[in-house]
Chain A
Protein backbone atom coordinates (compact mmCIF):
# COMPACT_ATOMS: atom_id res chain seq x y z
CA UNK A 1 0.00 0.00 0.00
CA UNK A 2 1.24 3.46 -0.90
CA UNK A 3 0.07 6.35 1.25
CA UNK A 4 0.78 9.84 0.08
CA UNK A 5 0.00 12.38 2.77
CA UNK A 6 0.07 16.17 2.72
CA UNK A 7 2.61 16.05 -0.07
CA UNK A 8 3.75 19.36 -1.50
CA UNK A 9 6.58 20.11 -3.86
CA UNK A 10 7.85 23.49 -4.90
CA UNK A 11 10.70 24.39 -7.19
CA UNK A 12 12.84 27.45 -6.82
CA UNK A 13 13.37 29.00 -10.22
CA UNK A 14 14.93 32.23 -11.41
CA UNK A 15 11.51 33.86 -11.53
CA UNK A 16 10.46 32.73 -8.05
CA UNK A 17 9.06 29.70 -6.31
CA UNK A 18 6.73 27.45 -8.28
CA UNK A 19 4.32 25.20 -6.39
CA UNK A 20 4.22 22.07 -8.53
CA UNK A 21 2.17 20.02 -6.05
CA UNK A 22 0.01 21.20 -3.18
CA UNK A 23 -1.17 19.08 -0.30
CA UNK A 24 -1.69 15.79 -2.14
CA UNK A 25 -3.36 12.96 -0.21
CA UNK A 26 -3.81 9.62 -1.95
CA UNK A 27 -3.94 5.99 -0.92
CA UNK A 28 -3.06 3.34 -3.45
CA UNK A 29 -3.91 -0.19 -2.44
CA UNK A 30 -2.02 -3.34 -3.36
CA UNK A 31 -3.17 -4.69 -6.70
CA UNK A 32 -4.64 -1.39 -7.87
CA UNK A 33 -4.09 -0.01 -11.32
CA UNK A 34 -4.24 3.57 -10.23
CA UNK A 35 -4.53 6.33 -12.78
CA UNK A 36 -3.24 9.83 -12.21
CA UNK A 37 -4.54 12.02 -14.95
CA UNK A 38 -4.22 15.68 -15.78
CA UNK A 39 -3.38 18.13 -18.52
CA UNK A 40 0.26 18.90 -19.16
CA UNK A 41 1.67 21.04 -16.41
CA UNK A 42 -0.75 19.67 -13.83
CA UNK A 43 2.10 18.11 -11.87
CA UNK A 44 1.66 14.41 -12.76
CA UNK A 45 5.29 13.78 -13.60
CA UNK A 46 6.47 15.51 -10.45
CA UNK A 47 4.03 13.45 -8.39
CA UNK A 48 5.23 10.14 -9.82
CA UNK A 49 8.84 11.18 -9.23
CA UNK A 50 7.99 11.94 -5.62
CA UNK A 51 6.71 8.39 -5.23
CA UNK A 52 10.16 6.92 -5.94
CA UNK A 53 11.95 9.91 -4.46
CA UNK A 54 13.60 11.01 -7.69
CA UNK A 55 12.14 14.29 -6.50
CA UNK A 56 12.22 14.99 -2.79
CA UNK A 57 8.86 16.30 -1.54
CA UNK A 58 9.11 19.76 0.00
CA UNK A 59 6.52 18.76 2.58
CA UNK A 60 4.57 15.67 3.51
CA UNK A 61 5.56 12.10 2.91
CA UNK A 62 5.15 8.93 0.91
CA UNK A 63 4.81 5.62 2.73
CA UNK A 64 5.29 2.24 1.09
CA UNK A 65 3.86 -0.50 3.32
CA UNK A 66 4.20 1.85 6.27
CA UNK A 67 7.81 2.84 5.57
CA UNK A 68 8.40 6.55 5.08
CA UNK A 69 10.45 6.63 1.87
CA UNK A 70 11.76 10.11 2.56
CA UNK A 71 13.53 8.87 5.67
CA UNK A 72 15.51 6.15 3.89
CA UNK A 73 19.28 6.30 3.69
CA UNK A 74 20.82 6.66 0.24
CA UNK A 75 21.58 2.95 0.11
CA UNK A 76 18.10 1.90 1.26
CA UNK A 77 16.64 4.34 -1.25
CA UNK A 78 18.51 2.62 -4.09
CA UNK A 79 17.29 -0.72 -2.78
CA UNK A 80 13.72 0.60 -2.65
CA UNK A 81 13.99 1.52 -6.33
CA UNK A 82 14.46 -2.14 -7.17
CA UNK A 83 10.95 -2.62 -5.73
CA UNK A 84 9.36 0.49 -7.18
CA UNK A 85 10.36 0.46 -10.85
CA UNK A 86 9.47 2.76 -13.67
CA UNK A 87 8.75 2.89 -17.37
CA UNK A 88 8.81 6.06 -19.44
CA UNK A 89 7.24 7.84 -22.39
CA UNK A 90 10.51 7.69 -24.32
CA UNK A 91 11.29 4.09 -23.21
CA UNK A 92 14.83 5.12 -22.15
CA UNK A 93 16.59 1.96 -23.26
CA UNK A 94 20.37 1.85 -23.50
CA UNK A 95 20.88 2.33 -27.23
CA UNK A 96 24.35 0.75 -27.21
CA UNK A 97 23.14 -2.44 -25.52
CA UNK A 98 21.01 -5.23 -26.97
CA UNK A 99 17.64 -6.22 -25.53
CA UNK A 100 18.98 -8.94 -23.28
CA UNK A 101 21.65 -6.63 -21.86
CA UNK A 102 19.05 -3.90 -21.32
CA UNK A 103 16.89 -6.22 -19.26
CA UNK A 104 19.95 -7.38 -17.33
CA UNK A 105 20.86 -3.82 -16.26
CA UNK A 106 18.85 -3.77 -13.00
CA UNK A 107 20.12 -7.28 -12.22
CA UNK A 108 23.70 -6.07 -12.66
CA UNK A 109 22.92 -3.26 -10.24
CA UNK A 110 21.86 -5.83 -7.64
CA UNK A 111 25.02 -7.88 -8.31
CA UNK A 112 23.16 -10.97 -9.49
CA UNK A 113 25.61 -13.56 -10.92
CA UNK A 114 25.77 -13.30 -14.69
CA UNK A 115 24.41 -16.75 -15.60
CA UNK A 116 21.40 -16.21 -13.35
CA UNK A 117 20.84 -12.77 -14.80
CA UNK A 118 20.91 -14.14 -18.35
CA UNK A 119 18.38 -16.80 -17.40
CA UNK A 120 16.07 -14.30 -15.72
CA UNK A 121 16.32 -11.82 -18.60
CA UNK A 122 15.55 -14.58 -21.11
CA UNK A 123 12.42 -15.53 -19.16
CA UNK A 124 11.33 -11.91 -19.09
CA UNK A 125 11.83 -11.56 -22.84
CA UNK A 126 9.30 -14.36 -23.23
CA UNK A 127 6.95 -12.74 -20.69
CA UNK A 128 6.72 -9.60 -22.82
CA UNK A 129 6.50 -11.55 -26.08
CA UNK A 130 9.94 -10.62 -27.37
CA UNK A 131 11.74 -13.95 -27.07
CA UNK A 132 13.24 -13.67 -30.55
CA UNK A 133 14.75 -10.22 -29.99
CA UNK A 134 17.41 -11.02 -27.38
CA UNK A 135 20.28 -9.91 -29.63
CA UNK A 136 18.46 -7.03 -31.33
CA UNK A 137 19.43 -3.44 -30.52
CA UNK A 138 16.73 -0.91 -29.54
CA UNK A 139 17.26 1.09 -32.76
CA UNK A 140 16.06 -1.95 -34.69
CA UNK A 141 12.76 -2.10 -32.77
CA UNK A 142 9.46 -0.24 -33.09
CA UNK A 143 8.23 1.98 -30.27
CA UNK A 144 5.87 -0.69 -28.97
CA UNK A 145 8.64 -3.28 -28.98
CA UNK A 146 10.98 -0.91 -27.17
CA UNK A 147 8.35 -0.33 -24.49
CA UNK A 148 8.00 -4.12 -24.09
CA UNK A 149 11.73 -4.38 -23.44
CA UNK A 150 11.48 -1.48 -20.98
CA UNK A 151 8.64 -3.29 -19.19
CA UNK A 152 10.73 -6.48 -19.01
CA UNK A 153 13.57 -4.42 -17.56
CA UNK A 154 11.22 -2.88 -14.99
CA UNK A 155 10.05 -6.36 -13.98
CA UNK A 156 13.55 -7.81 -13.64
CA UNK A 157 13.93 -7.13 -9.92
CA UNK A 158 10.44 -8.44 -9.00
CA UNK A 159 8.99 -5.06 -8.08
CA UNK A 160 5.96 -4.44 -5.91
CA UNK A 161 5.02 -1.28 -7.73
CA UNK A 162 5.34 -0.30 -11.38
CA UNK A 163 5.24 3.41 -12.19
CA UNK A 164 4.19 4.21 -15.75
CA UNK A 165 5.04 7.78 -16.74
CA UNK A 166 3.06 8.50 -19.92
CA UNK A 167 4.16 5.05 -21.03
CA UNK A 168 1.85 4.94 -24.03
CA UNK A 169 1.84 8.60 -25.02
CA UNK A 170 4.37 8.07 -27.82
CA UNK A 171 2.53 5.06 -29.26
CA UNK A 172 -0.25 4.69 -31.81
CA UNK A 173 -3.71 3.59 -30.59
CA UNK A 174 -3.30 -0.07 -31.54
CA UNK A 175 0.12 -0.36 -29.89
CA UNK A 176 -1.19 1.59 -26.88
CA UNK A 177 -3.93 -1.00 -26.50
CA UNK A 178 -1.40 -3.87 -26.74
CA UNK A 179 0.90 -2.31 -24.14
CA UNK A 180 -2.02 -1.59 -21.78
CA UNK A 181 -3.15 -5.19 -22.17
CA UNK A 182 0.35 -6.34 -21.22
CA UNK A 183 0.37 -4.05 -18.19
CA UNK A 184 -2.99 -5.41 -17.08
CA UNK A 185 -1.74 -8.98 -17.48
CA UNK A 186 1.29 -8.16 -15.36
CA UNK A 187 -0.94 -6.59 -12.74
CA UNK A 188 -3.17 -9.63 -12.63
CA UNK A 189 -0.62 -12.44 -12.96
CA UNK A 190 2.19 -10.99 -10.86
CA UNK A 191 0.07 -8.94 -8.48
CA UNK A 192 2.12 -5.82 -9.11
CA UNK A 193 0.51 -2.53 -8.15
CA UNK A 194 0.56 -0.18 -11.13
CA UNK A 195 0.45 3.60 -11.11
CA UNK A 196 -0.38 5.07 -14.49
CA UNK A 197 0.41 8.69 -15.24
CA UNK A 198 -1.36 9.92 -18.35
CA UNK A 199 -3.12 12.80 -20.01
CA UNK A 200 -5.39 10.46 -21.96
CA UNK A 201 -8.74 9.55 -20.42
CA UNK A 202 -8.91 6.54 -22.73
CA UNK A 203 -5.89 5.00 -20.98
CA UNK A 204 -7.51 5.36 -17.55
CA UNK A 205 -10.77 4.05 -18.96
CA UNK A 206 -9.06 1.01 -20.40
CA UNK A 207 -7.04 -0.31 -17.48
CA UNK A 208 -7.42 1.65 -14.25
CA UNK A 209 -9.71 0.75 -11.39
CA UNK A 210 -9.12 3.98 -9.50
CA UNK A 211 -8.24 7.43 -10.69
CA UNK A 212 -7.15 10.78 -9.33
CA UNK A 213 -7.56 13.94 -11.37
CA UNK A 214 -4.77 16.42 -10.97
CA UNK A 215 -5.13 20.10 -11.81
CA UNK A 216 -2.65 22.86 -11.01
CA UNK A 217 -0.86 20.66 -8.53
CA UNK A 218 -3.88 19.56 -6.52
CA UNK A 219 -6.12 16.51 -6.62
CA UNK A 220 -9.54 17.82 -7.64
CA UNK A 221 -11.29 14.47 -7.74
CA UNK A 222 -10.52 10.89 -6.80
CA UNK A 223 -12.37 7.60 -6.79
CA UNK A 224 -13.39 4.47 -8.67
CA UNK A 225 -12.99 4.92 -12.40
CA UNK A 226 -16.58 3.94 -13.20
CA UNK A 227 -17.89 6.38 -10.61
CA UNK A 228 -15.71 9.28 -11.69
CA UNK A 229 -16.55 8.60 -15.32
CA UNK A 230 -20.25 8.42 -14.98
CA UNK A 231 -20.53 11.28 -12.55
CA UNK A 232 -17.67 13.71 -13.00
CA UNK A 233 -17.86 16.54 -10.49
CA UNK A 234 -14.84 18.77 -10.86
CA UNK A 235 -14.55 21.02 -13.89
CA UNK A 236 -11.18 19.53 -14.81
CA UNK A 237 -12.72 16.06 -14.74
CA UNK A 238 -15.60 17.10 -16.96
CA UNK A 239 -13.15 18.56 -19.43
CA UNK A 240 -11.30 15.25 -19.52
CA UNK A 241 -14.39 13.06 -19.65
CA UNK A 242 -16.22 15.14 -22.24
CA UNK A 243 -13.34 16.66 -24.16
CA UNK A 244 -15.34 17.37 -27.32
CA UNK A 245 -18.61 18.52 -25.86
CA UNK A 246 -18.12 22.00 -24.49
CA UNK A 247 -17.39 23.27 -27.97
CA UNK A 248 -20.54 21.64 -29.31
CA UNK A 249 -22.76 23.22 -26.70
CA UNK A 250 -21.69 26.71 -27.61
CA UNK A 251 -22.65 26.32 -31.24
CA UNK A 252 -26.06 24.94 -30.41
CA UNK A 253 -27.33 28.32 -29.23
CA UNK A 254 -31.05 28.31 -28.47
CA UNK A 255 -31.37 24.58 -28.30
CA UNK A 256 -29.39 24.55 -25.09
CA UNK A 257 -32.40 23.72 -23.02
CA UNK A 258 -33.24 20.55 -24.87
CA UNK A 259 -30.17 18.50 -24.22
CA UNK A 260 -29.93 15.21 -22.41
CA UNK A 261 -26.78 13.38 -21.58
CA UNK A 262 -26.86 9.59 -21.42
CA UNK A 263 -24.18 7.90 -19.40
CA UNK A 264 -23.75 4.23 -20.20
CA UNK A 265 -22.29 2.19 -17.39
CA UNK A 266 -22.27 -1.21 -18.98
CA UNK A 267 -25.63 -1.27 -20.71
CA UNK A 268 -26.37 -4.25 -22.95
CA UNK A 269 -25.48 -2.99 -26.37
CA UNK A 270 -27.12 -5.35 -28.73
CA UNK A 271 -30.34 -6.25 -27.01
CA UNK A 272 -32.31 -3.07 -27.40
CA UNK A 273 -31.98 -0.19 -29.87
CA UNK A 274 -32.63 2.50 -27.27
CA UNK A 275 -33.11 5.58 -29.43
CA UNK A 276 -35.10 3.79 -32.11
CA UNK A 277 -37.50 2.36 -29.58
CA UNK A 278 -37.88 5.76 -27.94
CA UNK A 279 -38.78 7.20 -31.31
CA UNK A 280 -41.40 4.52 -31.81
CA UNK A 281 -42.83 4.33 -28.32
CA UNK A 282 -42.67 7.98 -27.26
CA UNK A 283 -42.64 9.59 -30.69
CA UNK A 284 -39.54 11.53 -29.79
CA UNK A 285 -36.88 11.51 -32.49
CA UNK A 286 -33.76 12.33 -30.52
CA UNK A 287 -30.85 13.81 -32.32
CA UNK A 288 -27.37 12.53 -31.41
CA UNK A 289 -25.13 15.59 -30.96
CA UNK A 290 -22.07 13.70 -29.90
CA UNK A 291 -21.14 10.34 -28.55
CA UNK A 292 -18.04 8.99 -26.87
CA UNK A 293 -19.16 5.46 -26.26
CA UNK A 294 -17.22 2.28 -26.59
CA UNK A 295 -18.20 -1.33 -26.36
CA UNK A 296 -16.32 -3.70 -24.09
CA UNK A 297 -17.39 -7.34 -23.84
CA UNK A 298 -20.74 -6.52 -25.43
CA UNK A 299 -21.49 -3.73 -22.97
CA UNK A 300 -21.56 -0.04 -23.63
CA UNK A 301 -19.57 2.50 -21.65
CA UNK A 302 -19.33 6.23 -22.19
CA UNK A 303 -21.64 9.12 -22.83
CA UNK A 304 -23.98 10.35 -25.51
CA UNK A 305 -25.37 13.85 -25.84
CA UNK A 306 -28.90 14.04 -27.26
CA UNK A 307 -30.97 16.93 -28.50
CA UNK A 308 -34.66 16.38 -27.70
CA UNK A 309 -36.94 18.26 -30.11
CA UNK A 310 -40.07 19.87 -28.71
CA UNK A 311 -40.71 21.50 -25.37
CA UNK A 312 -40.33 20.68 -21.69
CA UNK A 313 -43.06 18.08 -21.87
CA UNK A 314 -41.19 16.05 -24.51
CA UNK A 315 -38.01 16.43 -22.53
CA UNK A 316 -39.63 15.07 -19.39
CA UNK A 317 -41.07 12.11 -21.28
CA UNK A 318 -37.71 11.38 -22.87
CA UNK A 319 -35.96 11.48 -19.53
CA UNK A 320 -38.55 9.20 -18.03
CA UNK A 321 -38.31 6.75 -20.87
CA UNK A 322 -34.53 6.66 -20.97
CA UNK A 323 -34.26 6.38 -17.20
CA UNK A 324 -36.37 3.27 -17.33
CA UNK A 325 -33.70 1.32 -19.18
CA UNK A 326 -30.99 -0.58 -17.36
CA UNK A 327 -27.51 0.72 -16.67
CA UNK A 328 -28.08 4.11 -18.23
CA UNK A 329 -27.90 7.31 -16.27
CA UNK A 330 -29.73 10.33 -17.60
CA UNK A 331 -28.72 13.92 -17.01
CA UNK A 332 -30.58 16.94 -18.27
CA UNK A 333 -28.15 19.56 -19.47
CA UNK A 334 -30.35 22.61 -19.16
CA UNK A 335 -31.88 25.31 -17.10
CA UNK A 336 -35.09 23.30 -17.15
CA UNK A 337 -33.47 20.79 -14.91
CA UNK A 338 -34.31 22.80 -11.85
CA UNK A 339 -37.80 23.68 -13.01
CA UNK A 340 -38.49 20.03 -13.49
CA UNK A 341 -37.37 19.38 -9.95
CA UNK A 342 -34.50 17.21 -11.06
CA UNK A 343 -30.93 17.47 -9.98
CA UNK A 344 -28.56 17.59 -12.90
CA UNK A 345 -27.31 14.16 -12.01
CA UNK A 346 -30.72 12.66 -12.78
CA UNK A 347 -31.86 9.27 -11.67
CA UNK A 348 -29.82 6.18 -11.57
CA UNK A 349 -30.68 3.05 -13.45
Chain B
Protein backbone atom coordinates (compact mmCIF):
# COMPACT_ATOMS: atom_id res chain seq x y z
CA UNK B 1 0.00 0.00 0.00
CA UNK B 2 2.92 2.27 0.77
CA UNK B 3 4.23 1.84 -2.74
CA UNK B 4 0.98 2.95 -4.31
CA UNK B 5 0.53 5.79 -1.83
CA UNK B 6 3.95 7.07 -2.63
CA UNK B 7 4.14 6.70 -6.41
CA UNK B 8 0.52 6.59 -7.52
CA UNK B 9 -1.28 9.04 -5.26
CA UNK B 10 -4.37 10.72 -6.70
CA UNK B 11 -2.42 13.95 -7.09
CA UNK B 12 0.40 12.27 -8.94
CA UNK B 13 -1.99 10.59 -11.31
CA UNK B 14 -3.62 13.95 -11.94
CA UNK B 15 -0.17 15.47 -12.61
CA UNK B 16 0.62 12.62 -14.94
CA UNK B 17 -2.60 13.17 -16.88
CA UNK B 18 -1.66 16.80 -17.44
CA UNK B 19 1.79 15.80 -18.65
CA UNK B 20 0.34 13.15 -20.92
CA UNK B 21 -2.05 15.68 -22.44
CA UNK B 22 0.47 18.50 -22.81
CA UNK B 23 3.94 17.01 -23.25
CA UNK B 24 3.71 13.42 -24.39
CA UNK B 25 2.89 14.07 -28.02
CA UNK B 26 5.88 16.38 -28.41
CA UNK B 27 8.09 13.95 -26.52
CA UNK B 28 7.02 11.07 -28.75
CA UNK B 29 7.82 13.08 -31.87
CA UNK B 30 11.17 14.00 -30.38
CA UNK B 31 11.96 10.37 -29.64
CA UNK B 32 11.05 9.37 -33.18
CA UNK B 33 13.13 12.19 -34.63
CA UNK B 34 16.21 11.28 -32.58
CA UNK B 35 15.75 7.59 -33.36
CA UNK B 36 15.30 8.01 -37.11
CA UNK B 37 18.12 10.53 -37.56
CA UNK B 38 20.51 8.41 -35.49
CA UNK B 39 19.56 5.25 -37.37
CA UNK B 40 19.99 7.00 -40.71
CA UNK B 41 23.51 8.18 -39.93
CA UNK B 42 24.41 4.91 -38.22
CA UNK B 43 23.43 3.07 -41.42
CA UNK B 44 25.28 5.55 -43.63
CA UNK B 45 28.48 4.74 -41.72
CA UNK B 46 27.73 1.17 -40.64
CA UNK B 47 26.61 -0.23 -44.01
CA UNK B 48 29.85 0.51 -45.91
CA UNK B 49 31.85 -0.56 -42.89
CA UNK B 50 29.95 -3.85 -42.68
CA UNK B 51 30.59 -4.43 -46.40
CA UNK B 52 34.31 -3.80 -45.88
CA UNK B 53 34.38 -6.22 -42.94
CA UNK B 54 33.14 -8.96 -45.30
CA UNK B 55 34.90 -8.12 -48.57
CA UNK B 56 38.17 -7.12 -46.89
CA UNK B 57 38.39 -10.34 -44.91
CA UNK B 58 41.33 -12.63 -45.69
CA UNK B 59 38.86 -14.92 -47.46
CA UNK B 60 36.78 -12.06 -48.90
CA UNK B 61 36.58 -10.94 -52.50
CA UNK B 62 39.05 -8.10 -51.97
CA UNK B 63 41.27 -8.86 -49.00
CA UNK B 64 42.64 -5.78 -47.26
CA UNK B 65 45.88 -5.66 -45.29
CA UNK B 66 45.56 -7.64 -42.10
CA UNK B 67 46.63 -4.76 -39.86
CA UNK B 68 43.90 -2.55 -41.33
CA UNK B 69 41.22 -5.17 -40.69
CA UNK B 70 42.55 -5.65 -37.15
CA UNK B 71 42.31 -1.92 -36.47
CA UNK B 72 38.76 -1.76 -37.85
CA UNK B 73 37.66 -4.71 -35.75
CA UNK B 74 39.37 -3.30 -32.70
CA UNK B 75 37.66 0.11 -33.04
CA UNK B 76 34.28 -1.52 -33.54
CA UNK B 77 34.69 -3.75 -30.52
CA UNK B 78 35.93 -0.85 -28.43
CA UNK B 79 32.95 1.36 -29.29
CA UNK B 80 30.54 -1.50 -28.73
CA UNK B 81 31.91 -2.24 -25.30
CA UNK B 82 31.61 1.34 -24.03
CA UNK B 83 28.38 1.89 -22.05
CA UNK B 84 26.26 4.47 -23.84
CA UNK B 85 25.94 6.82 -20.88
CA UNK B 86 29.74 7.00 -20.59
CA UNK B 87 30.05 7.52 -24.32
CA UNK B 88 27.65 10.50 -24.14
CA UNK B 89 29.79 12.22 -21.52
CA UNK B 90 33.12 11.38 -23.18
CA UNK B 91 31.87 12.57 -26.56
CA UNK B 92 30.58 15.90 -25.32
CA UNK B 93 33.59 17.89 -26.60
CA UNK B 94 33.31 16.16 -29.96
CA UNK B 95 29.56 16.85 -30.12
CA UNK B 96 30.16 20.48 -29.26
CA UNK B 97 32.75 20.66 -32.05
CA UNK B 98 30.35 19.15 -34.56
CA UNK B 99 27.17 20.99 -33.64
CA UNK B 100 28.30 23.96 -31.53
CA UNK B 101 26.41 22.57 -28.56
CA UNK B 102 26.44 19.30 -26.70
CA UNK B 103 22.94 19.47 -25.30
CA UNK B 104 19.47 19.10 -26.77
CA UNK B 105 18.31 16.61 -29.40
CA UNK B 106 21.47 17.09 -31.47
CA UNK B 107 23.55 16.45 -28.37
CA UNK B 108 22.09 12.98 -28.15
CA UNK B 109 22.10 12.18 -31.87
CA UNK B 110 25.89 12.48 -32.21
CA UNK B 111 26.79 10.02 -29.43
CA UNK B 112 23.93 7.76 -30.53
CA UNK B 113 25.37 7.55 -34.04
CA UNK B 114 28.83 6.84 -32.63
CA UNK B 115 27.40 4.13 -30.39
CA UNK B 116 25.15 2.61 -33.06
CA UNK B 117 27.25 2.52 -36.23
CA UNK B 118 29.58 -0.24 -34.97
CA UNK B 119 26.49 -2.22 -34.01
CA UNK B 120 24.99 -1.66 -37.47
CA UNK B 121 28.33 -2.63 -39.08
CA UNK B 122 28.26 -5.95 -37.20
CA UNK B 123 24.62 -6.53 -38.19
CA UNK B 124 25.43 -5.86 -41.86
CA UNK B 125 28.47 -8.11 -41.60
CA UNK B 126 26.24 -10.88 -40.25
CA UNK B 127 23.67 -10.41 -43.02
CA UNK B 128 26.29 -10.51 -45.78
CA UNK B 129 28.05 -13.53 -44.31
CA UNK B 130 24.79 -15.46 -44.47
CA UNK B 131 24.97 -15.25 -48.26
CA UNK B 132 25.54 -18.49 -50.11
CA UNK B 133 29.26 -18.43 -51.07
CA UNK B 134 28.34 -20.11 -54.37
CA UNK B 135 26.55 -16.91 -55.38
CA UNK B 136 29.72 -14.89 -54.84
CA UNK B 137 31.67 -17.45 -56.87
CA UNK B 138 29.06 -17.13 -59.63
CA UNK B 139 29.54 -13.35 -59.67
CA UNK B 140 33.32 -13.74 -59.83
CA UNK B 141 33.09 -16.32 -62.60
CA UNK B 142 30.81 -13.96 -64.54
CA UNK B 143 33.58 -11.36 -64.55
CA UNK B 144 32.14 -9.04 -61.89
CA UNK B 145 34.63 -6.73 -60.21
CA UNK B 146 34.51 -6.04 -56.48
CA UNK B 147 32.14 -3.09 -56.82
CA UNK B 148 29.78 -4.99 -59.13
CA UNK B 149 29.83 -8.06 -56.90
CA UNK B 150 28.78 -5.92 -53.94
CA UNK B 151 26.12 -3.85 -55.70
CA UNK B 152 24.69 -6.27 -58.26
CA UNK B 153 24.89 -9.45 -56.22
CA UNK B 154 25.68 -9.24 -52.51
CA UNK B 155 23.43 -6.35 -51.50
CA UNK B 156 20.37 -7.24 -53.62
CA UNK B 157 20.55 -10.85 -52.44
CA UNK B 158 20.75 -9.71 -48.79
CA UNK B 159 17.82 -7.27 -48.85
CA UNK B 160 15.43 -9.28 -46.64
CA UNK B 161 18.18 -10.01 -44.12
CA UNK B 162 19.33 -6.37 -44.14
CA UNK B 163 15.77 -5.18 -43.49
CA UNK B 164 15.62 -7.49 -40.48
CA UNK B 165 18.98 -6.19 -39.27
CA UNK B 166 17.97 -2.54 -39.67
CA UNK B 167 14.74 -3.21 -37.77
CA UNK B 168 16.81 -4.58 -34.91
CA UNK B 169 19.00 -1.47 -35.14
CA UNK B 170 16.03 0.93 -34.96
CA UNK B 171 14.47 -0.75 -31.95
CA UNK B 172 17.81 -0.86 -30.13
CA UNK B 173 18.49 2.81 -30.87
CA UNK B 174 14.97 3.66 -29.69
CA UNK B 175 15.88 2.14 -26.35
CA UNK B 176 19.10 4.16 -26.18
CA UNK B 177 17.18 7.45 -26.67
CA UNK B 178 15.85 7.00 -23.14
CA UNK B 179 19.25 8.15 -21.93
CA UNK B 180 19.00 11.39 -23.85
CA UNK B 181 17.73 13.08 -20.68
CA UNK B 182 21.30 13.04 -19.38
CA UNK B 183 22.31 15.73 -21.86
CA UNK B 184 18.99 17.54 -22.00
CA UNK B 185 17.77 15.85 -25.13
CA UNK B 186 14.03 15.67 -25.52
CA UNK B 187 11.90 12.62 -25.88
CA UNK B 188 10.01 10.14 -23.80
CA UNK B 189 13.09 8.95 -21.95
CA UNK B 190 13.85 12.43 -20.70
CA UNK B 191 10.24 12.95 -19.64
CA UNK B 192 10.19 9.66 -17.81
CA UNK B 193 13.40 10.40 -15.91
CA UNK B 194 12.75 14.08 -15.18
CA UNK B 195 9.07 13.85 -14.31
CA UNK B 196 8.64 10.22 -13.38
CA UNK B 197 11.76 9.13 -11.57
CA UNK B 198 12.97 12.37 -10.07
CA UNK B 199 9.51 13.45 -8.89
CA UNK B 200 8.57 9.95 -7.84
CA UNK B 201 5.61 9.87 -10.22
CA UNK B 202 5.57 6.35 -11.57
CA UNK B 203 2.38 6.93 -13.51
CA UNK B 204 4.47 9.05 -15.87
CA UNK B 205 7.10 6.30 -16.08
CA UNK B 206 4.44 3.77 -16.93
CA UNK B 207 2.85 5.99 -19.56
CA UNK B 208 6.23 6.55 -21.24
CA UNK B 209 6.91 2.84 -21.07
CA UNK B 210 3.57 2.03 -22.70
CA UNK B 211 4.25 4.39 -25.59
CA UNK B 212 7.78 3.00 -26.09
CA UNK B 213 6.43 -0.55 -26.06
CA UNK B 214 3.82 0.38 -28.66
CA UNK B 215 6.47 2.07 -30.84
CA UNK B 216 8.76 -0.96 -30.70
CA UNK B 217 5.85 -3.26 -31.53
CA UNK B 218 4.85 -1.15 -34.54
CA UNK B 219 8.42 -0.86 -35.85
CA UNK B 220 9.16 -4.56 -35.35
CA UNK B 221 5.89 -5.68 -36.94
CA UNK B 222 6.39 -3.41 -39.92
CA UNK B 223 10.05 -4.48 -40.32
CA UNK B 224 9.19 -8.16 -40.20
CA UNK B 225 6.37 -7.67 -42.68
CA UNK B 226 8.63 -5.73 -45.07
CA UNK B 227 11.41 -8.34 -44.83
CA UNK B 228 8.98 -11.15 -45.64
CA UNK B 229 7.34 -9.23 -48.43
CA UNK B 230 10.68 -8.40 -50.06
CA UNK B 231 11.93 -11.99 -49.91
CA UNK B 232 11.40 -13.66 -53.28
CA UNK B 233 12.57 -17.01 -51.96
CA UNK B 234 9.22 -17.52 -50.27
CA UNK B 235 6.79 -19.03 -52.70
CA UNK B 236 3.36 -17.48 -52.60
Contact = CB atoms under 8 A, between A and B. Distances in A.
Given A97-B156, A109-B152, A92 B143 contact: no
A52 B134 contact: no
B232 A137 contact: yes
B156 A54 contact: no
Interface in B185-235: 230-235
Contacts of A94: 135, 153, 156-157
A52 B235 CA distance: 35
B136 to A, nearest CB: 9
Nearest to A48: B141
Contact of A79 (B143, B152, B156, B160): B143
A103 B230 CA distance: 20
B23 interface: no
Interface residues of A, number: 31
A98 B232 CA distance: 9
Contacts, number: 73
B232 A92 contact: no
Contacts of A157: 143
Interface string A125-167: 0000000000001111000000000000100010000000000
Interface stretch (A60-68, A83-91, A112-120): A83-91
A106 interface: yes
Nearest to A89: B134
A106 B143 contact: yes
Nearest to B138: A92
Interface string B99-139: 00000000000000000000000000000000010110110
A75 B147 CA distance: 13
Interface in B126-175: 132, 134-135, 137-138, 140-145, 148, 152-153, 156-157, 159-160
A249 interface: no
Interface of A: 52, 54, 74-75, 77-82, 85-86, 88, 90, 92, 94-98, 105-106, 108-110, 137-140, 153, 157
Given A54-B137, A97-B232, 20 more contacts: A74-B145, A78-B143, A79-B143, A81-B140, A82-B142, A88-B134, A92-B132, A94-B153, A95-B232, A96-B231, A98-B232, A106-B143, A109-B144, A109-B152, A137-B232, A138-B232, A139-B232, A139-B234, A140-B235, A153-B142
Interface of B: 132, 134-135, 137-138, 140-145, 148, 152-153, 156-157, 159-160, 230-235
